[in-house]
Chain A
Amino acid sequence: MSITSVLIIDDSPTDLMILSALLDLCDRYEVMQAPDGSAALKILANREADVCLVDFDMPGMTGLEFTIEARSLRPGQCCILVTGASPADLAAAAEEAGVHTIISKASLSPHLLDGTIQAAIGARVQ
């Protein structure tokens, strides 16, 4: 099984811990963490990440703003938006920013994360 690199960006240390732990359970992800968009962009400047798992509501740079910046830095960068708000409310803005998928923090599980990330990578390969 190939290892997928995932960069998680969330200003909540607790949510970073939860997302990392959920991905660890899937046993096929190399996880990197960043507490905000700026720190994540610095990581992306030095190395690739197959997928960015980015929180929407962050101070300084929102998940959507990060997606635009990340895709400018690395064209085609796959970003999945994670939000505590209603995904439906963000759908149009997320699509415009180039977000691949939105997932709700309320429905997170190893199965959902794994399925969403693999589908996103599959779509990029095609």
Chain B
Amino acid sequence: MNAIDLKAYRQLFDEMPVAALLLDDRGNCLEANEAASNLLGESLVDPTWNVFETDHVRGQELTHLVESLRTTGAVDSHDAMLYGPNGRRLVRISGHRIFNESLGKHVTWMVLGDVTDRSAAAYQLAQMNRQLEESNRQLDQFASMAAHDLKAPARRVRMFAQLLSNDASLGELARGFVVRILTSGAQMEDIIDSLLQFARVGEEVDDMRLTDMKDVLAQACGSCAKDIKEAGYKVVIDGNLPIVTMNRAAIEQLIVNLVSNALKFRRTDVPGQLTIASRTDEDPLGNHVVTFSDNGVGFPNQDSDHLFEMLYRAHSKSEFEGNGIGLAICQRICQGHGWNIRAESPEETGATFRIIVPKVPPVARTA
């Protein structure tokens, strides 16, 4: 190594933003850069400084580490708490004990990176995630309990209205009101059932098994068969659906909701058709892309980001019935599986729901 190289390396060593030390086996410091002195708050390259005699509290962990390096030879990313002029700092240490030929003895080099801030941010993030999970859990519990407790009173309102409708003495106006109570009661029960379903989707994602989506699709279409037939709808399967890890009941619900959605938003002027396709060549990572494309009324493009929001409706209630929870359930099911669902309606004629199913099964979310 020539003189220029040596100077450049010296400068690199002195000015590098992480602390670096070179120690001999007796614990004396042969080299230390500025960052190391700043971190420990001591003049390290001093014959009086020795890592084994350093302040017990300030360098305890460092002393243990150097002792351990004598037997293990190397340490990688060991986190230790050191005390310096900036107080308690969490330091990530890597080191190696090597034989230095020019010195004719073993030396240990150590690099110490201050990760206090990063660690604090990670801790804060983890804490916020825990709070968010707890908050979501409580919200689910609330939705489930609220829906469950509302179910019986809503049913009773409808039942009493039904009993009232049998009263022959009711006038025309009163009979009209009773019909409205019956209709509203049925709507309320439908919303409550959907809310309960939404809350329960989160409970189901644990029971994940490798399943052929083709079988689940057949079962889902079977349960929608009557509606499909009545609507004169055609369902076309294009391509091989994947065999992936899933909660079968949840994915059946997802497919039922998407098929029901296509049936609901069909056009009256053309025969309805839903094409369910599966590809692996569309995604750059080779993931399965399962699409549900219909030739229905579609939705305005600006709605595509909001379509999966709870109670969001792209069309008015007078145009199409529905409670705006079905697609929110779809998204929740996909999220629980680590899948991604998006909606497109390129020319606002027909809608396509695109589900990205990772090729590698994701780790099931913990409840």
Measured CB to CB, the residues of A under 8 A from B are 12, 14-15, 18, 21-22, 25, 84, 105-106, 108-110
User: Are A18 and B152 in contact (CB-based, < 8 A)?
Assistant: no
What residue of chain B has the Cβ atom nearest to residue A106's Cβ? Answer: B155
For the A-B complex with A18-B159, A84-B151 known, give 5 more contacts whose Cβ atoms are closer than 8 Å: A15-B152, A18-B156, A18-B163, A25-B166, A105-B152
Residues of B within 8 A of A18 (CB): 156, 159-160, 163
In the bound complex, CA of A38 to CA of B160 (Å): 28
**Which residues from 154 to 172 on chain B have a C-beta closer than 8 Å to any C-beta of chain A?**
155-156, 159-160, 162-163, 166
Picked from A12, A25, A105, A106, the residue with its CB within 8 Å of the CB of B163 is A25
- Cβ-Cβ contact count across A and B, 8 Å cutoff: 23
A84 and B155 within 8 A (CB): yes
B152 surroundings in chain A (CB, below 8 A): 12, 15, 84, 105
* B116-160 interface (Cβ within 8 A of A): 151-152, 155-156, 159-160
Binding site for A on B (CB under 8 A): 151-152, 155-156, 159-160, 162-163, 166, 189
The listed residue (B151, B155, B163) touching A21 by CB distance below 8 A is: B163
Question: How distant is the Cα of A12 from the Cα of B151 in the complex, in angstroms?
Answer: 14
Bound complex: CA A70 to CA B163 (Å): 30
Chain B residues, CB < 8 A from A108: 159
Residues in B whose Cβ lies below 8 Å from that of A21: 163
CA distance A14 to B153 in the complex (A): 9
Q: Please name the residue on chain B nearest to A110 by beta carbon.
A: B166
Q: For A109, give its contact among B155, B160, B162 (CB under 8 Å).
A: B162
The SS class assigned to the B binding surface is helix
Q: How far is the CA of A22 from the CA of B163 in the complex (A)?
A: 7
Task: State the CA gap A84–B155 with chains docked (Å).
Answer: 9
Q: With the chains together, A18 CA to B162 CA distance in Å? A: 10
> In the complex, which residues of chain A have a beta carbon less than 8 angstroms from the beta carbon of B163?
18, 21-22, 25
Which single residue of chain B is at the shortest CB-CB distance from A57? Answer: B152
Q: Which residues of A contact B159 (CB under 8 A)?
A: 18, 22, 108
Q: Which residues of B contact A14 (CB under 8 A)?
A: 156
A22 to B158, CA, bound (A): 13
A15 touches B166 (CB 8 A): no
B256 to chain A, nearest CB (A): 16
Q: Is the CB of A15 within 8 A of B156?
A: yes
Give bound CA distance, A108 to B162, whole Å. 10
Offer 13 A-B interface pairs, CB within 8 angstroms, sorted by A: A12-B152, A14-B156, A15-B152, A18-B159, A18-B160, A18-B163, A25-B163, A84-B151, A84-B152, A84-B155, A105-B152, A106-B189, A109-B162
Nearest CB of chain A from residue B147's CB, rounded to whole Å: 12
What's the nearest-Cβ distance from chain A to residue B151, in Å? 6
Q: Which residue of A lies closest to B189 (CB)?
A: A106
List of A residues within 8 angstroms of B162 by Cβ:
109
Separation of A106 and B159 alpha carbons in the complex (Å): 9
Which residue of B has the minimal Cβ distance to A22? B163
List A contacts of B189 (CB < 8 A): 106
Complex: A15 Cα to B189 Cα, angstroms = 17
CA distance A25 to B162 in the complex (A): 11
- Bound together, the chains give a CA A110 to CA B159 distance in angstroms of 11
- CA separation between A109 and B182, bound complex, in Å? 13
Closest residue of A by beta carbon distance from B154: A106
Smallest Cβ-Cβ distance to B156: which chain A residue:
A14
Measured CB to CB, the nearest residue on chain B to A19 is B159
Q: In whole angstroms, what is the CA distance A108 to B189 when docked?
A: 14
Query: Which residue of A is nearest B164, CB measured?
Result: A21
A25 to B151, CA, bound (A): 24
